Copies of this chain bind each other. A is one copy, B any other.
Amino acid sequence: MATDRLTLGVAARLSRYLQVLTQAKKMGKSSISSQAISEYTNVNPTQIRRDLSGFGKFGKRGVGYDIDSLIEQIRKILRTSGQHNIGLFGAGNLGQAIATSGVFADHGFRISAIFDVDPDRVGTMVADMPVRHYRDLQEVVSGDGIMVGVLAVPGSAAQEVADDLVAAGVKIIFNYSDALLTVPSDVTVHTSSPAVELLYALYFYLS
């Protein structure tokens, strides 16, 4: 099974299960039921059991899933075991918040370099790393094997950074700015969109 390509839906759900499992582990839990996973993901428990049963017998009736082994199995299935390096662009409030939170590190993503153009920030330490000058992008991306670029820059600067990342061979960009980015079709852009989720929640609340 692990050699077949997952469907979009299965991969998306496994990623969400993995997030909940990682959070539950941090909160000191060692096992979790499909019902509990369901409450945190809004995926129904039957679907969860079906998704997970396809990859082996993790769950025990009345006990639930062993969190450690389930995390390990899902990581293997998603082939995201090991570490993947992130280049973080922007060392302002948002960049500092991202660098110092565990939001990426918990999932095997390591922020290996932080970049800025502001001379007051370049050379300062953020999350135990010196802020690099933006001009070093190409060199650091290839030297560190950076696979993901995270944009915590103003919208007006985002397209330029995206273009330079694409030129340096990066295929996955996570965009926290409000710019619409234009990239080649083999590059994936994820745009952070909390307001969209709120609009959506609000619609159902007001209806």
A104 in complex: contacting residue of B15, B198, B205, CB < 8 Å: B198
A104 and B172 contact, CB distance less than 8 A: no
Query: Would A195 and B93 be within 8 Å (CB), given that A27-B180, A203-B11 are in contact?
Result: no
- CB-nearest residue of chain B to A99: B93
Q: Decide: B178 and A80 in contact? CB cutoff 8 A.
A: no
Whether A11 and B200, one on each chain, are in contact in the complex, defined by CB atoms closer than 8 angstroms, is yes
Q: How far is the CB of A127 from chain B (nearest CB, A)?
A: 11
Question: Which bracket fits the contact residues of A?
Answer: 35 or more
Q: Mark A176-202, 1 if CB is under 8 A from B, else 0.
A: 001110000000101111111111111
C-alpha gap A101/B155 in the complex (Å): 10
Q: Which of A16-24, A49-57, A113-121 forms part of the interface with chain B?
A: A16-24
Q: Are A197 and B190 neighbours in the complex by a CB distance under 8 Å?
A: yes
Task: Enumerate chain B residues within 8 angstroms of A19, measured Cβ to Cβ.
Answer: 191, 193, 195-196
Residue A84 lies at the interface, judged by CB distance under 8 Å to chain B: yes
Minimum CB–CB distance from A175 to chain B (whole Å) comes to: 10
Number of copies: 2
Question: Which of B26, B94, B201 makes the CB contact (< 8 A) with A178?
Answer: B26
List chain B residues, Cβ under 8 A from A174.
Answer: 194, 197-198
Choose among B103, B188, B201 the residue that contacts A188 (Cβ–Cβ < 8 A): B201
Excluding A93-B97, A102-B178, 15 further A-B contacts by CB distance (< 8 Å) are A5-B207, A11-B204, A15-B196, A19-B193, A27-B180, A79-B203, A94-B97, A101-B178, A104-B194, A104-B198, A107-B199, A147-B205, A148-B202, A171-B205, A172-B198
Q: Could you show 15 A-B contacts with beta carbons less than 8 Å apart? A: A11-B203, A15-B197, A19-B191, A19-B193, A26-B178, A78-B199, A94-B101, A97-B97, A103-B178, A103-B195, A107-B196, A109-B198, A147-B205, A148-B198, A148-B202
